[in-house]
């Protein structure tokens, strides 16, 4: 008896699914995304998802995308990749083969993007990614992957230019210390910094590679104390940022200019937790609410920031902003292609030249965005001020660190 009811129910469900799905298909275009909603990247993964959601909401509310005179809503199917690359790759496969998504949005982090890109590439599904900056993503000859953000080697190059201007002595006398984690992404940053250091003719006095399971930076920071470099560059994800400001204070090691990555994810701006310790640190960022770029969907960067804050209750970190930008780029490309054909959209993506609240977006042959510079923000009493590059700066860089 029970079995009969069950099988009847299943049949009905299946039938209703059959009837409903073509109708639902008719006016939505499905995007797929594996995002880190749990595991070690879950904070940033959540920013990514919120960025995508807000982008979708606004694109759809402005009429969605128009293909052949018919307007479609965009929809995203999310899976949690648990911050593990292997899981990300299999979820990408599932999104493409089982859920039959039209296009893909990227995951969070370079590592996950690296795992997913070969899958989307194999199936010829265009992917716009917003959170994989590693240089190594863009020398694989990928044809279907496009990234709206600046690549990792650019992250802290601006800091090198700034010390050259501010130090008040010839470049050959300027000393630079590097404490950078031993992972591909951070080492890209190091390569970029070293390129610029060499170009200016500065001297590298410390070049430490921090271990992945970093728990103590005493030896590196005592070196900093002994050699007093003009510029200290730290990049070791959020733990490196948090640990270095804590231990620099404990060891009495100070430098004139401190440049870091991941200030936001380490929550260095939380004055209740870090006090004044991270004051005047320079933080690399892809984007800031105060940059002067504007675009069609959200208007100015400031306006986007306001909308995001009204929706989610906090100021958008750049991870959210670039994710929203990815949605805008995808919608723009589908509209221009006037088709949901994968190759037509790929070609439209490659030809993108779009102004957005996030910045100008124009892809190189390799798929990375070459139109938007990285910015450098200075952290003062829990607030970030854009100090470089000069054309977007809102405040004068305070040098040396008091």
Partner 1 sequence: MITYIQILISSPEFLAQLIINGLLVGAIFALIAYGLALIWGVMDIINFAQGEMVIFGGYLTYTLFYQFGIHPILTIPIVAIALYIFGLLIYKSVINRLLGEKDIFITILATFGLAILMQQLMQAIFGPDVVTANPELGMLFLFDGQLIISNVQLVSFFIAVFVGVAMFILMKYSRMGQAIRATAQNPRASRILGINIEKVYANTFAINAALCGIGGSLVVMVWTIHPFIGLVYTFRSFMIVILAGLGNFLGIIFAGMGISSLENVTGFIIGAEFQAAVIFCLLVIILVTRSIRARKRREYIQ
* Binding positions for partner 1, rule: CB under 8 A: 38-43, 179, 182, 207-211, 213, 215-220, 222-223, 225-227, 238-239, 241-243, 246-247, 249-252, 265-267, 272-275, 277
Pick the closer one to partner 1 by CB: 140 or 247: 247
Pick the closer one to partner 1 by CB: 9 or 227: 227
In whole angstroms, give the CA distance from residue 104 to residue 96: 8
Tokens of 376: 């450098």
Task: Please compute Rg for the chain using Cα positions.
Answer: 23
189-43-116-129 Cα dihedral, nearest 10 degrees? -70
Q: How far is the CB of 205 from partner 1 (least distance, A)?
A: 8
Pick the closer one to partner 1 by CB: 190 or 346: 190
Q: How far is the CB of 42 from partner 1 (least distance, A)?
A: 5
Q: How far is the CB of 274 from partner 1 (least distance, A)?
A: 8
Pick the closer one to partner 1 by CB: 176 or 266: 266
Q: How far is the CB of 36 from partner 1 (least distance, A)?
A: 9
In whole angstroms, give the CA distance from residue 106 to residue 118: 12
Q: How far is the CB of 198 from partner 1 (least distance, A)?
A: 19
User: DSSP letters along 338-389, please?
Assistant: TS--HHHHHHHHHT-EEEETTEEEEB-TTSBB-S---EEEEEETTEEEEEES
Pick the closer one to partner 1 by CB: 210 or 374: 210
Pick the closer one to partner 1 by CB: 172 or 215: 215
Q: How far is the CB of 174 from partner 1 (least distance, A)?
A: 17
Pick the closer one to partner 1 by CB: 38 or 311: 38
How many Cα neighbours within 13 Å face the side chain of 375? 27
Q: How far is the CB of 277 from partner 1 (least distance, A)?
A: 8
Q: CA 254 → CA 206, 250, 251, 400, distances in Å?
A: 15, 10, 9, 10
Q: How far is the CB of 227 from partner 1 (least distance, A)?
A: 7
Q: How far is the CB of 160 from partner 1 (least distance, A)?
A: 21
Helices (H), 252-317: 271-274, 301-312
Angle (CA) 6 9 11, round 5°: 110
Tokens of 7: 């099988």
Pick the closer one to partner 1 by CB: 96 or 221: 221
Beta strands in 25-68 (DSSP E): 28-35, 65-67
Ramachandran quadrant class, 271 (left: phi over 0; alpha: psi -120 to 50; beta: rest): alpha
> 72 phi and psi, to 5 degrees?
-115, 145
Pick the closer one to partner 1 by CB: 89 or 241: 241
Pick the closer one to partner 1 by CB: 119 or 258: 258
Beta strands in 81-150 (DSSP E): 103-105, 127-129, 145-147
Q: How far is the CB of 175 from partner 1 (least distance, A)?
A: 12
Task: Please enumerate in sequence order all residues whose Cβ is within 8 A of that of 194, keeping only pairs 6 or more positions apart, or say none.
Answer: 178, 204
- For 213-239, letters b (16+ CB in 10 Å) and e give ebeebeebbebbeeeebbbbbbbbbbb
DSSP 290: T
């Amino acid at each position: 008896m029970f079995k009969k009811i069950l099988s009847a129910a299943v049949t009905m469900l299946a039938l209703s699914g059959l009837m409903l799905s073509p109708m639902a298909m008719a006016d939505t275009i499905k995007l797929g995304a594996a995002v880190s909603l749990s595991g070690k990247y879950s904070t940033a993964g959540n920013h990514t998802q919120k960025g995508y959601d807000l982008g979708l909401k606004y694109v759809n509310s402005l009429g969605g995308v128009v293909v052949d005179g018919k307007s479609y809503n965009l929809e995203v199917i999310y899976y949690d990749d648990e911050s593990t690359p292997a899981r990300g790759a299999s979820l990408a496969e599932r999104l493409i083969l089982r859920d039959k998504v039209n296009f893909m949005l990227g995951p969070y982090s370079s590592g996950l993007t690296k795992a997913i890109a070969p899958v989307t590439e194999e199936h010829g599904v265009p992917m716009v990614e917003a959170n994989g900056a590693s240089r190594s993503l863009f020398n694989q000859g990928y044809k279907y992957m496009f990234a709206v953000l600046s690549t990792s080697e650019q992250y802290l190059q601006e800091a090198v230019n700034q010390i050259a201007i501010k130090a008040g002595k010839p470049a050959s006398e300027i000393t630079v210390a590097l404490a950078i984690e031993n992972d591909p992404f951070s080492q890209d940053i190091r390569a970029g910094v070293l390129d610029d250091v060499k170009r200016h003719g500065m001297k590298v006095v410390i070049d430490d590679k921090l271990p992945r399971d970093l728990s103590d930076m005493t030896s590196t920071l005592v070196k900093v104390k002994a050699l007093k470099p003009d510029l200290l560059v730290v990049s070791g994800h959020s733990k490196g940022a948090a640990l270095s400001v804590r231990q620099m204070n404990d060891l009495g090691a100070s430098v004139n200019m401190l440049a870091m990555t991941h200030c936001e994810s380490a929550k260095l701006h939380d004055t209740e937790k870090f006090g004044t310790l991270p004051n005047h640190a320079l933080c690399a960022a892809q984007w800031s609410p105060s940059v002067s770029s504007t675009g069609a969907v959200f208007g100015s960067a400031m306006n986007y920031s306001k909308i995001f804050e009204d929706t989610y209750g906090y100021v958008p970190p750049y991870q959210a902003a670039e994710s929203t930008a990815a949605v805008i780029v995808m919608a723009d490309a589908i509209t221009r292609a006037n088709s949901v054909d994968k190759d037509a959209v790929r070609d439209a993506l490659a030809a993108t030249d779009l102004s957005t609240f996030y910045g100008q977006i124009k892809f190189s042959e390799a798929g990375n965005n070459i139109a938007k510079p990285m910015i450098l923000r200075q952290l003062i009493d829990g607030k970030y001020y854009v100090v470089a590059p000069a054309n977007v700066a809102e405040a004068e860089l305070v040098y040396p660190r008091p």
